[in-house]
Amino acid sequence: MLSRKLDSARAAYRAGDVEAARAAHIHASQEAHSQGQHLKSMVYGGLDGIITTFAVVAGVAGASLDATIVLILGFANLIADGLSMAIGDFLSTKAELQLAATEQARESWEVEHFPDQERAELVDVYQAKGMPEADAVEMVAILSRHKKAWIDTMMAAELGIPETDESPVGNAVATFLSFVVFGFVPLVAYVLSRLVTLGISPLLLAVMLTAVTLFVLGTVKVRVVRMHWVRAGSEMLLVGGVAAVAAYGIGAALRAIVGS
């Protein structure tokens, strides 16, 4: 079956390359349907992990506390917040799937018992999108011969619920692992400082590692939000920087208050 290679098509669109776009549309692809299925959970889990952990590091550094405190709070944050995010992703994905299943069952029941009304509703939907009535009626007449396609279209067009095969467990695991892996980056410098002698302060090394990782993760995010990679990377670097500065300032302020 001919399929559209979305990545190639999007790249061709950004470049204004008509021939590449045509090739992307007609190229027969054997890519697995599940490729990148958990990308969104991995990207946002990783971003949250590295930003929140670095905020902990910056806050402790601002309070001028011992490096041991950085490691204790940092690792505690990795596990606790990682589990919290994973559970939240699991529950939200499960709730979305339950809602979709419930609405799909209702649409199926209505199509079975009130087919004329359902056809009329879909005609109205297409007309609201600017389609002439005659074309809308013809399209719905063809679509209604195929029950599954009819129901799936009603779900997406009328209710805004597209067909999905997301896995709550898969999303939760992807979120947790991404959170822990990327959240560990700001702690690497402090772990290394316990093993070897560093030429720079652990905080400065943590800042450098975190900045690079944030920018890289931001560029990966373009696969989810479709931004230019430089803008996406810079945006995430800015967000992480604001969080770090705020945490550092709060730590310093608290130390000044307690110290006084």
Q: How many CB atoms lie under 10 A from the CB of residue 24?
A: 21
Structure tokens at 40: 């969104």
Per-residue tens of pLDDT for the chain, all 260 residues: 334 455 666 666 667 766 766 666 554 344 444 445 577 788 888 888 888 888 888 888 888 888 888 889 889 989 999 999 999 989 988 998 888 888 888 888 888 888 888 888 889 888 888 889 999 899 889 988 888 888 888 888 777 777 777 788 988 999 999 999 999 998 998 898 888 887 788 888 888 898 888 888 877 766 666 677 788 778 878 887 787 788 778 877 877 787 65
The helix, strand and coil proportions of the chain, stated in percent and rounded to the nearest 5, come to 80, 0, 20
Which pTM does this prediction carry? Answer: 0.71
Give Dmax (Cα) for the chain. 79
Rg (CA), the chain: 25
Cβ partners under 8 Å of residue 11, min gap 6: 20
pLDDT at 162: 73
Query: How do the domains of the chain map onto residue ranges?
Result: 1-31, 40-103+167-259
How far, in Å, CA of 182 to CA of 48, rounded?
9
- What are the CA-CA distances from residue 253 to residues 8, 15, 59, 241 (Å)? 50, 49, 10, 18
pLDDT at 80: 92
pLDDT at 26: 55
Cβ partners under 8 Å of residue 157, min gap 6: 122, 125, 126
Q: DSSP assignment, residue 126?
A: H
How far, in Å, CA of 21 to CA of 38, rounded?
26
CB 188, CB 54: distance < 8 Å: no
Q: DSSP assignment, residue 144?
A: T
How far, in Å, CA of 42 to CA of 62, rounded?
30
How far, in Å, CA of 179 to CA of 86, rounded?
9
pLDDT at 257: 80
Q: Closest by alpha carbon to 189, among 87, 102, 70?
A: 70
pLDDT at 28: 39
pLDDT at 83: 93
pLDDT at 1: 36
Q: DSSP assignment, residue 130?
A: T
